[in-house]
A and B are shown apart, each in its own frame.
Chain A
Amino acid sequence: MEMIAPELHESRLSAAAQSDDALLEISLGPHHPSTHGVFRMDVTLDGERVVKLKPVFGYLHRNHEKIAETAAYLASMPYTDRLDYIGSLTNNWAYALAVEKLAGIQVPERAEYIRVITAELTRLQNHASTIGFLTQEMGASGSPLMYSFREREKILDLFEALTGSRMMCNYMRFGGCRVDLPAGWLDQVGRVVDGFSHFLDEFERLLTSNEILLARTQGVGILSRELAIQGGITGPILRASGVNYDIRKVDKYGIYERFDFKIPIGEHGDVYDRYMIRMLEMRESVKILNQALRDIPAGPIMDPKTKIRGFRPKAGEAYGRIESAKGELGFYLISDGSPNPYRYRVRPPSLINLTVLEDMCIGSNVSDTIVIFGTIDIVLGEVDR
């Protein structure tokens, strides 16, 4: 494998510095509207071109891992909502999966279906709002973002009907789910999913072959396949660079091997591919949802004998990971037999996907940097933890 060592930045920087010594250092953020929260980039500019870029974060840091090590296992479940607050249900699932692996708990079939349905709904609203934000940052003020938020709102209403909360869902439990589906909820989901395909058609008519979007995205922010693998990138960004890697297919966690769906793969690894991968993934999620809604069985959502209070897993360690909307979200737990985890580690996809931001941005304009940053799709609650 080709080595792309970090010292390359230095050589690139010095080459740029020799050509023109009038470099400008600016701090982009932390209150810049495009930074999706409190995030800052220390950018060194040669005219309009970026020659160096260092992400600065930690403004939202509250040491989630330390807090989880001093709390019981179940007490961390609501806290995982606050990591990636766009997709709290996938965070719940990843944590529940890690604890179930640690303690060897079985999940009933109906609960597995509910998990798939909620996770795919989360993916739909996450990708839709990501594309909305992306177009907003390209200057399409308002319209696409409002269309995607209109759809997102419908899905958040479904979450509210199911869990009582729109964003901080706290729904999964070790060995199942918290409450059963309310009456008529599946029909509501079916209507929203049907409407979502129409929304995707409409959204694609508006954006996919739009001249301005093509000009702003094609060939911008290219991430090579080698660097994507070396940088540990996961999720839609990795697949846009042409790597066939989706944990739903690799691990087949939950019941994903029962569903018929495809993994979209990009060719160029540019911003347009990352946009298109998300569009295609939403269509695949709609396919999964239709199958899950058709097949969901009746039955318990949790084994009544599962112990929730005073939960003490045996000493050992486990790593549970899922394909969240942003990439590989993993929870690594070490138990020493006490009610609290001895070590609790989150593998945040947003943080690790940020590693290659500098490589993608070097040589591009400031305006393109904003667009490239938008396609990484980070949530600062997860980056900083």
Chain B
Amino acid sequence: MRDGSLQHGEQLLLVAGERPTYEGCTKLNRQRTENRSDKVTIPSLTPIWRSAEFQEREIYDLYGIVFQGHPDLRRILMWDEFEDHPMRKDYVEPNDYEYEPTPHDAVLEKAKQARTLEGQS
């Protein structure tokens, strides 16, 4: 496969994942990562098959697997500031998806402190 000798149909299967002949790829994609901070790396297929370009970015985005040799490994579906990898089995969903710290929170916190101070005095 390294020399690009695959027929077209086999290539599509490979990319689609029915019979991935790329050993490292299949093994690592199925691995459940024990340590969430662990960045698992596998070599990238993109220099050989362009079709892997967006799909590897997606796997990086959703699973946190780093593809060595990928020309443009960025988040593709989640926003850039997002920190976790939501397709992992141990991903903890946030209680409030819409939560954003606002100035209002700081005001409420101050009011709460003032109230406890009042209660003490």
Kindly list chain A residues whose C-beta atoms are within 8 Å of the C-beta of B4. 1, 3
Q: A-side interface residues toward B, CB under 8 Å?
A: 1, 3-7, 9, 57-58, 61, 63, 65-66, 227, 229-234, 243, 245, 250, 319, 321, 328, 330, 332, 343, 345, 347, 351-352, 354-356, 384-385
Kindly identify, within residues 6 to 52 of chain B, every residue whose CB is under 8 Å from any CB belonging to chain A: 8-9, 11-13, 15-18, 30, 46-52
Asked if residues B50 and A355 are in contact (CB atoms below 8 Å), the reply is yes
Asked if B66 lies at the interface with its beta carbon under 8 angstroms from chain A, I say no
Asked if residues B17 and A332 are in contact (CB atoms below 8 Å), the reply is yes
Asked if residues A229 and B8 are in contact (CB atoms below 8 Å), the reply is yes
Asked if B79 lies at the interface with its beta carbon under 8 angstroms from chain A, I say yes
Kindly list chain B residues whose C-beta atoms are within 8 Å of the C-beta of A347. 15-17
| Residues 68-106 of chain B, each 1 if its beta carbon lies under 8 Å from chain A, else 0 | 000110011111000000110000000000000000000
A250 contact from B5, B9, B16, B78, Cβ within 8 A: B9
Asked if residues A66 and B87 are in contact (CB atoms below 8 Å), the reply is yes
Asked if residues B18 and A319 are in contact (CB atoms below 8 Å), the reply is yes
Asked if B55 lies at the interface with its beta carbon under 8 angstroms from chain A, I say yes
Known: A7-B71, A58-B76, A351-B54. Is A319-B16 also a contact (CB below 8 A)?
yes
CA distance A8 to B23 in the complex (A): 28
Interface CB pairs A-B, < 8 A, 6: A66-B86, A227-B50, A230-B49, A232-B15, A347-B16, A352-B55
Most buried by B among A5, A58, A351, A384: A58
CA distance A231 to B54 in the complex (A): 10
Asked if residues B50 and A245 are in contact (CB atoms below 8 Å), the reply is no
Kindly list chain B residues whose C-beta atoms are within 8 Å of the C-beta of A61. 77-78
Q: Interface size of B by Cβ–Cβ distance < 8 Å?
A: 33
Nearest residue, chain B, Cβ from A329: B16
Known: A245-B8, A352-B51. Is A345-B17 also a contact (CB below 8 A)?
yes
Asked if residues A231 and B16 are in contact (CB atoms below 8 Å), the reply is no
CB of B5 to closest CB in A, whole Å: 8
CA distance A101 to B102 in the complex (A): 50
Known: A232-B11, A352-B54. Is A63-B76 also a contact (CB below 8 A)?
no
Asked if residues A6 and B87 are in contact (CB atoms below 8 Å), the reply is no
The 10 closest A-B CB pairs, nearest first, are: A232-B51, A319-B18, A58-B77, A6-B71, A231-B50, A1-B4, A61-B77, A347-B16, A232-B15, A330-B16
Known: A7-B71, A232-B12, A347-B16. Is A58-B50 also a contact (CB below 8 A)?
no
A384 contact from B12, B15, B47, B77, Cβ within 8 A: B77
A355 contact from B51, B75, B79, Cβ within 8 A: B51
Kindly list chain B residues whose C-beta atoms are within 8 Å of the C-beta of A319. 13, 16-18
CA distance A352 to B46 in the complex (A): 13
Asked if residues B47 and A5 are in contact (CB atoms below 8 Å), the reply is yes
CB of A36 to closest CB in B, whole Å: 17
A231 contact from B51, B76, B79, Cβ within 8 A: B51
Kindly list chain A residues whose C-beta atoms are within 8 Å of the C-beta of B50. 4, 6, 227, 230-232, 355-356
Kindly list chain A residues whose C-beta atoms are within 8 Å of the C-beta of B5. 1
CA distance A229 to B12 in the complex (A): 9
B54 contact from A66, A230, A355, Cβ within 8 A: A355
Nearest residue, chain B, Cβ from A334: B30
Asked if residues A328 and B87 are in contact (CB atoms below 8 Å), the reply is no
Kindly list chain B residues whose C-beta atoms are within 8 Å of the C-beta of A63. 62, 77, 86-87
Nearest residue, chain B, Cβ from A354: B54
CA distance A9 to B11 in the complex (A): 23
Nearest residue, chain B, Cβ from A65: B87
